Amino acid sequence: QVKYIVMDMYSPYIQLAKRYFPKANIVLDPFHIVQLVNRAFNQTRIREMNQEKTKNPKLYRILKRDWKLYLKDFLTLSETRKYCRSLKQFISPSEKVDYVMAKKENLRQDYYFYQDILYAVKRKDFRLFESYLERWKKKISPKMQTAWKTLRKYRKYIRNTLGTSYSNGPLEGMNNFIKS
């Protein structure tokens, strides 16, 4: 009778669900799909940032101080310019991202992969998701390759995720509220 089971991207949970609910569709929480790629990107950002510590302190500061900027959906970044002390000029958040990505090739590839996955998940478009996986297969960093392999491994369940509006977000929110 159970049609859908929403869960994290965790193999033991999936095996249990398949054993006890063989006819149920397993849906991965979209948050966890994005979080996987987000964390891999952030690890690459930190590695690239630390390489700039002595070589280019200005770039290091931008990568360190504006870390949240790179995790946002690029399409929602503001075009409003504010003064950036590191660059000594007025610059918008989207221009700042472009500036950094122009200087850091490895980071740029991972950033675009992250943005593409974010876009496909938000649009709930599995074909687009698959095309992005194929497009970026050989172009991303080793950390992002690990995330890529995980997405590939769970793509059957990601198809279910992008075909429904189910999420365990409200339940996790309630759990966090109870814990606090």
For 11-34, what is each residue's pLDDT tens digit? 999 999 999 999 999 999 999 999
Give the per-residue pLDDT at 167: 82
Distance from C-alpha of 17 to C-alpha of 11, rounded to nearest angstrom: 10
Please state, for a pLDDT cut of 70, what percent of the chain lies above it.
98
Structure tokens at 108: 């740029």
pLDDT at 24: 95
Closest CA to 108 of 98, 123, 119: 98
Q: Does pTM surpass 0.95?
A: no
Nearest alpha carbon to residue 56 among 48, 67, 66: 48
The pLDDT confidence band at residue 178, using thresholds 50, 70 and 90, is confident
Burial class of residue 72 (count of CB atoms within 10 Å of its CB; 0-12, 13-18, 19+): middle
